[in-house]
Structures are given as structure tokens and as C-alpha cells.
Amino acid sequence: MEKKGSILLERYELGKLLGQGNFAKVYYAKDLKKFQNVAIKVIDKEKTLKAGLSEQIKREISVMKMAKHKNVLQLYEVMATKTKIYIVLEYAKGGELFNKVAKGRLKEDIARWIFQQLISAVDCCHSGGVYHRDLKLENLLIDEDGSLKVSDFGLSALIDSKRQDGLLHTMCGTPAYVAPEVINRRGYDGAKADIWSCGVILYVLLAGHLPFQDSNLIEMYKKITRADYRCPNWFPPEVRRLLLKILDPNPKTRIPISKIMENPWFKKGLGTRPAPARLAKVESTEAKLSEGNAIEKQFELSKPSNLNAFDIISLSSGLDLSGLFVADDGREDIRFTSIEPISVIVAKLEEVASELKLKVSKKDGGFLKLVSSGGRRVELGIDIDIFEVTPSFHVVEMKRANGNAFYYQKMLKDGMQPALKDIVWAWQGDSTQSRFKEKRCMSNFLCKLKFMYDVEF
């Protein structure tokens, strides 16, 4: 526990706590040698070790040291004791931009000025091969005169917590700023993903609320993947056009930074701070709303809350649960998630079964037994369990009950998987890995999740 007034490493006089993240606490401090204000991020070594992050932190700190730009929060020094890592950072007196925007959207020229600084910082880091991967309003700080300081560049391991198990620790918050290809986990280009997040930030600065927001995370996910957003009527046409190019769900056709920098709206007043350069609340979103603007529903600009187990499952298109479950009987199981109602899932399974010359020999609520019918020479039995996670979210598990394993695999790969694509949210694990130890017990499943990952229900 760091105490106010204590001197750290014979040089930094510790002041008040500025904020706190998952693995770290951030304190204001005075550098007694250079007589300057700094912020010190104190990271708990044990926590990061447990999360398997220490190597990544070391690597990313060295990356962060390289990212030098006037709009990137400067890293001065890194020190470590037995239990703690101390990262000494440039102090951004204005604090989080989030707090300013939460009070009201920004005027166009101020929003553009912030966006220009953001693009300039991101461009510089990208040229050095450094990608942020977690750009959002909460990572944008401002200094005394209101100019931008992007924080956590290259430090995404701390926020990001990607772990060895591959489970979705990457999004311990809302996916509101995350590009579709990142959520889809198709492997992504860091530069293009950062550009998407910059687009979301531009929208937020001008609108005072997020472009993709829904209390139902699955709906939010859908909106992101379709780039389904609406611009408030005060957005200038040039901004709408620019946003259309940035918030392009296809990373291949998404506008690159070089082209954003050539955009006429972007270039207006480039390099000059609008006067007055105060980042005060400019216009209250509420006031604008009460003027009767044709906006269906505005969402408050809210900080991401931690996801609960349901959200984690529902967002986890690449979630590999294999580590959670131990094989009990050596059979190959395969499962997928679906956002269709159970009746639609069952109907589709029956339809596909018939196409594949399988017959439904047993049907009991969320359980189906398929067996080979007359048209098939090889004997095969498949058990299918449908688990309800939430009424709008299901996990469907298939296993071979009897018959030849090779034939079963081939039928799954060439027949089942392609035919089920309309109802599948994501396939999980693969046929050799994912196995439930306890059968058909959702509560066990969720308890295990809670135990393993300490998530809230």
C-alpha cells in the first residue's frame, strides 16, 4: 500500500490516487530531481504473474518507450521491486477526456482538434509498428491546455489481459470501440482496428454518446458487425462521409490513416488550437434532445462495466472452452453457440438431419438423437443437447453416440457444419478438444466458469 507523502525510490514524492485499473493504481507524484509532476502507475507483480502477463508487460514497456510523440503520454522510467512494477509517466493534469464528454458533446472545431491530435499520435505509433488495440475515450487524457495525451500505447496487455487459455479476457469491458474483425477474432490488422476505434471516438466526441450501444450485448455486437449506427442531425455532411469510410466493417476497404489525413474536413485548421481552447462542456446532449431532435433513443455515455458470465459466453465467438472440460469417455464432442430460439434450432437440426439421411430417433425438449436411416450404409448415432444460457442464447453440443469416428467427423465437417451455418453464432473448440466432464448440467458449467475465471453472475 503506497502512502501519500512517502518518497519512492528516493526520488518521487507520492501524492493522491488518480485512478485505478485492473492490475494497477495510478498516483500523482512529484519528481524531486527534475521538479516536475509525474503520474506513477503501480502494478501488482503477483497479479500480473498469475495472469501470465509479466513477459508481455516487459515487452510492451519497451515498445511504449519507443512511442514518442507529443500526443502520446510519455513514459519516463520503469522500476521494479520484488512485488511491484512502477511506471513513471507524464502527468496529464486535465485528466480523462471521458469526464468532459460525459458532461456534454464537444463543439465541432474542438472535436476536430482532438481528432487531429489522435490521428497524428496513432499515425506516428503505427509507423513505428506500435498498435494500441484498445483506443477508447477512457484512454485519452488531456493536459493543462487541453491538448491530447493518448495513454496506454503499447501497454494493452495490462488492460487487455489476453491469457494463455485463450479465453476472452481481452474484452473486460464493452466492445463499443472494438472493430468487427477483432470481435470476430479472424486475426486482424492492428492499424485497421485502431482506425475503427478512432472513428468511434470521433463519433462520441461529436455526439456525446456511443455509435453502437445496446443493453443487449449480442445486439451491440450485431450493430458493430453491420456498422449499424445513425448520425445525430447536427453532424455535418463531411463528418458523416468521413465516418462512413472509417466505420467500414470491412478492414480491407476501410480508409487508411494517410487518406484520413487528406480529408478536407480533417485538414481544416490543422495544427492550430481552436480558440478558446477550453474543453468545457460545450452543449448539453440532454438540452439538444429536448429540442425534439429526430433521434430515437440516446444512450448515456457510460463506462464499460465488467462482463458477466453470460456476456462472456455470448461474446466469445473464438472462445475455446477446451481447457475447462476434461474428457470423460473419450468421445468426440463438438459445440456451437446460437442466438436463435430453441424451436428454430431444433427445426433446423431436423431439416439438416433429413438432408443428411439421418433420422430423429428421439426428441425430448433440448435433446435430440439422430441415427442413420435407410439411405446410409454406415451406422451412426449422434446425440445433441441444447443448453439454454439465456432465452436468446444457446449452446448446442453434439456427440457421437455410436458408429465409426472417421465417418462421424467427415459427416460433421462436410455435412453438418456447412448446413447449420444459418443458425450458428460460433463453433467452439474442435472435435478433438472440447469435452464436458459433467453432462447436461448448465449450472455446473456456469459454476466452473465462475471458479476458473472469477466472473460475476
Residues known to be catalytic = 134
Sign of CA dihedral 7, 9, 10, 13: negative
Give me the sheet containing 36-44, strands edge to edge: 7-8, 12-20, 24-31, 36-44, 84-90, 75-80
Q: Which member of 8, 14, 29, 39 binds ligand AMP (CB under 6 A)?
A: 39
**Number of other CB atoms surrounding residue 237 within 10 Å:** 9
Residues 65-124 that bind ligand AMP (CB under 6 A): 73, 89-92, 95-96
**Number of other CB atoms surrounding residue 434 within 10 Å:** 21
Please report how close the Cβ of residue 167 comes to ligand AMP at its closest, in angstroms: 22
Residues near ligand AMP (CB under 6 A), total? 17
Give me the sheet containing 358-364, strands edge to edge: 358-364, 367-372, 380-390, 393-403, 333-338, 426-428
Asked if 24 interacts with ligand AMP (CB under 6 A), we say yes
**Looking at residue 283, what DSSP letter applies?**
B
Shorter beta-carbon distance to ligand AMP: residue 140 or 416: 140
Residues 390-449 that bind ligand AMP (CB under 6 A): none
Asked if 313 interacts with ligand AMP (CB under 6 A), we say no
Q: Which member of 19, 52, 366, 415 binds ligand AMP (CB under 6 A)?
A: 19
Please report how close the Cβ of residue 177 comes to ligand AMP at its closest, in angstroms: 14
**Looking at residue 86, what DSSP letter applies?**
E
Q: Which member of 8, 26, 42, 198 binds ligand AMP (CB under 6 A)?
A: 26
Count of CA atoms in the C-beta half-sphere (13 A) of 227: 18
Exposed, middle or buried: residue 144 (CB in 10 Å: 0-12, 13-18, 19+)? exposed
Residues 123-142 that bind ligand AMP (CB under 6 A): 141
Of 17-25, 190-198, 329-337, 407-415, the window that binds ligand AMP (rule: CB under 6 A) is 17-25
Interhelix angle 190-207/237-246, rounded to 10 degrees, is: 150
Sign of CA dihedral 46, 47, 51, 55: negative
Q: Which member of 2, 15, 21, 245 binds ligand AMP (CB under 6 A)?
A: 21
Please report how close the Cβ of residue 390 comes to ligand AMP at its closest, in angstroms: 30
Asked if 152 interacts with ligand AMP (CB under 6 A), we say yes
Nearest residue by C-beta to ligand AMP? 19
Please report how close the Cβ of residue 114 comes to ligand AMP at its closest, in angstroms: 17
The set of cell numbers assigned to 48 is 500480473
Shorter beta-carbon distance to ligand AMP: residue 151 or 316: 151
Q: Which residues bind ligand AMP (CB under 6 A)?
A: 18-21, 24, 26, 39, 73, 89-92, 95-96, 141, 151-152
